[in-house]
Structure 1
């Protein structure tokens, strides 16, 4: 038997060499109590340093974390599981392992706004060109500063809602991710009236990376 997250072997009654199993478990726990890795790598470094951890970006073990807990054991592998979050030191960012078996950078709404260098309208995040929704935001308010493509590639949660606000002076358009299912296959287009707001909720379809979209309301304005 193994633990769910880190595949640590559990001891069983009457098992021999329990101290070996116990020590191995402690080494793995010690390696991953601090959930950081140095970087993504294309090949394993020849020189090993106890405590080093990397994410493999190649081969049949792509996405796994390789770590060195003991020089005598060499590089060992930990199979990543969906929802696992690590801090990648040389990227200075958190990454989350998704259901698509890939690592994605975790981007907060505030970071996304800064990266796009767009203004925020009070509690709204200003967007233009392209905007990737954060991994785990249940509610987000977006304000159009230009025509924009909204991507759901990083989203890890099962339900979230967007309040989408049209520009004050100019009507802009939205292009949506391909992994959204809309009623009658008609992607929602934001209300063209300036300063109007639409509300859309999204629901992940089980065992997929797709979302079903529901337009809760549209055309709200003062």
Structure 2
């Protein structure tokens, strides 16, 4: 059991949830690291200072942030800040790989398996625009050219074609993001759970999936879509 989150609308319900969790953990002989636990009170959007202590669990300090899969979980997502952090980390990993002596094929595989996953964690959570994604693909090509792994006059299309079709097999970040968002959207919209249905109905552009909006196609070949707000 990892990264357990308890959500409650009232203090009494939160105490009850903590009690249930404690009973369950005692039954399976598992102890929680309370020094790593914290509470966060949110009132109408922003975090709210709440000095109360729940079962020896203190409030998350204002200067600290709880992160899960590199995404801040303190009530609201700062998309601009997160995109900058993801871009810098992605660039750092690609640069490290380009400084190695990997062959062309192994280099592309390493970028796809070690650098690109830094970004895929955020797809469907962070709001990446098409321009942002195109810029990430251009960044990759610039770095490849800088380290002499891609000629300036090389075919961009061939760079992203699978190796079995004569290409180099590099993952296209824009296609990865749009396809993953479309897949998540289909999965959630076909879910019959009443709670998910209610949340989807109210999602008018609040998340990158925009579950309550009509979609317009942006990439018919790969069946990728963007919300029409």
What is the TM-score when the length of structure 2 is the normalising length?
0.28
More helix by share: 2
TM-score, normalised by the number of residues in structure 1: 0.29
Q: Which has the higher strand share?
A: 1
